[in-house]
A and B are shown apart, each in its own frame.
Chain A
Amino acid sequence: MPVLVKIPTQLRPAAGGAAETEVDGATVQEVLDGLFDRFEELRARIYDDDGSLRRFVNVYLAGEDIRFLDGLSTPVADGAELTILPAVAGG
């Protein structure tokens, strides 16, 4: 069973309008790479030029910020939910 990736509204136009999609991968990085294989346009939105997460992108695995886990190398189990969200809310 693959991983369910939730796509924020701001990125849906670059993902064929999809709000979520299923991608295979054993780590957060692999799942994101799988996502970019499908929707190439997303890569430049989510990654900066050196291939790390842009500073205003938050990625959550089952609701936990991956920076509290192992970042992009965090392992993901089958059936897990990965949520991408803008980081500029709140206060």
Chain B
Amino acid sequence: MAVTHLECKECKAHYPLQALYVCERCFGPLEAVYEHQRDGRDVGELRRRIQGGPQNIWRYADFLPLAEGPPGPSGRLASRVGLPAGCTPLIRADRLAERLGLREVWVKNDAANPTHSFKDRVVSLAAARARELGFEVIACASTGNLANSVAAHGAALGLDSYVLIPADLEEQKVLATGVYGTKLVMVDGSYDDVNRLCTELCAERRWAFVNVNLRPYYAEGSKTLAFEIAEQLGWEIPDRCVVPVASGSLFTKIAKGFDEWRELGLLDGQLPRMNGAQAEGCAPVASAFLAGHQVCRPVKPDTIAKSLAIGNPADGPYALDVARRTGGSIDAVSDEEIREGIALLAETTGIFTETAGGVSAAVLRKLADRGEIERDESVVLLITGDGLKTLDAVRGSFPTYSIAPTIEAFEATVPEGVAAV
């Protein structure tokens, strides 16, 4: 076990590896700290050890905050326990690159997880830690994708679950949560209201709220995206990553993942430029970036990108720091640009993403249009969720042809010679 304790990101006070998330002295967030024993292994051996692991995030168990290593009867069986997440495709997107006037664009398609979003990474970890700590109930405050994942992991692991969501979420996300037999609570309010309620409930119940009292463990799961990207690029760090931002946890932990592997010598070179992506209708981090502020002023969200609709982002200050430190940015795009982003990705890669992916695709386009991306840069676009969960975003966005089943009707109605776009 390499993880040693939790530490306050603000005042550096130490805490034990329990269900704790906030510093009692200064209210800062707690984060897992590691001490890696290399036991004389060189970089080649470290890499081979990872490559010999299961085809899911547990191949990175050495770098994650579990006391007992990968969950399951044994490490070797880990790939078959629960709902293993990760090892999603990294796809070279030449047609997308060409459209944007770039040379090397990769799409990390994290919709290819068990419940179709990157949240399975963070929930796998939080649920495993919850079991280690003896919890029998997992719970969350969710903008939708987390809800799907917590409900499904509860079912897979035989843990009861409570999922709290804003009542106005997309129907697809509601249905794809309730089906797992969770206690689904629709709250009359915004995500920030749900989050406040869960913070209060957390003090009253002995439950593992994955993104409240288990947040230090949960958040570390997002590092596995950096690990996978680096491994899939042949142990290389890309020049730039474009990442959607809600609370800012995913964004900051991707940077942390690359950083930890640099420190261990597993990777060389600089951190990628980290470009965060928000919707204009909920852009507290992008606004603070533009204004040069170090903290975010909360907003009341109004956007089709409901999965990113967090008006009071917990990791806002750290996301700003990562963007500035790496020469990146946090940008915002309109709902119209989000829809165009979804179409752009679908038409050039065959990947259908939800609104959050539309936000990152649209921000990539914006950066390319602004001429900020050098031609020889390698760029990774993070696609964190599936288009089938936000169908309203594409409804009515393309023509269809309704005909009688005859050749004549076909020839009279359907235009021919439509080349691929």
Q: Interface of A with B (CB < 8 Å)?
A: 6, 8-11, 13, 45-46, 54-58, 60, 63, 65, 67-68, 83, 85-91
Contacts and interface: CB of A to CB of B under 8 A. Distances in A.
Interface in B258-305: 295, 297-298, 300
A35 to B, nearest CB: 15
Contacts of A55: 295, 317
Dominant secondary structure of chain A at its interface with chain B? mixed
A91 B22 contact: no
Complex A-B, nearest 6 residue pairs according to Cβ-Cβ distance, in ascending order: A91-B247, A88-B29, A86-B22, A90-B195, A56-B27, A89-B212
A91 B249 contact: yes
Interface in B208-254: 209, 211-212, 215, 219, 246-250
A89 B211 contact: yes
Given A13-B24, A55-B317, A91-B250, 15 more contacts: A11-B24, A55-B295, A56-B27, A56-B28, A65-B192, A86-B27, A88-B28, A88-B314, A89-B21, A89-B209, A89-B314, A90-B212, A90-B312, A90-B313, A91-B313
Contacts of B25: 45
A90 B247 contact: yes
B199 A54 contact: no
Q: Interface size class for chain B? A: 35 or more
Contacts of A56: 10, 22, 26-29
Given A55-B317, A57-B27, A88 B211 contact: no
A87 B23 CA distance: 11
Contacts of A90: 141, 191-192, 195, 198, 211-212, 247, 310, 312-314
Given A90-B314, A91-B310, A83 B21 contact: no
A88 B298 CA distance: 13
A18 B246 CA distance: 34
Nearest to B296: A55
B302 to A, nearest CB: 14
30 contacts: A45-B24, A45-B26, A54-B27, A56-B26, A56-B27, A58-B196, A63-B196, A67-B297, A67-B298, A68-B300, A85-B200, A86-B22, A86-B199, A87-B27, A87-B312, A88-B21, A88-B29, A89-B141, A89-B199, A89-B202, A89-B209, A89-B212, A90-B191, A90-B198, A90-B211, A90-B212, A90-B310, A90-B312, A90-B313, A91-B249
A9 B23 CA distance: 11
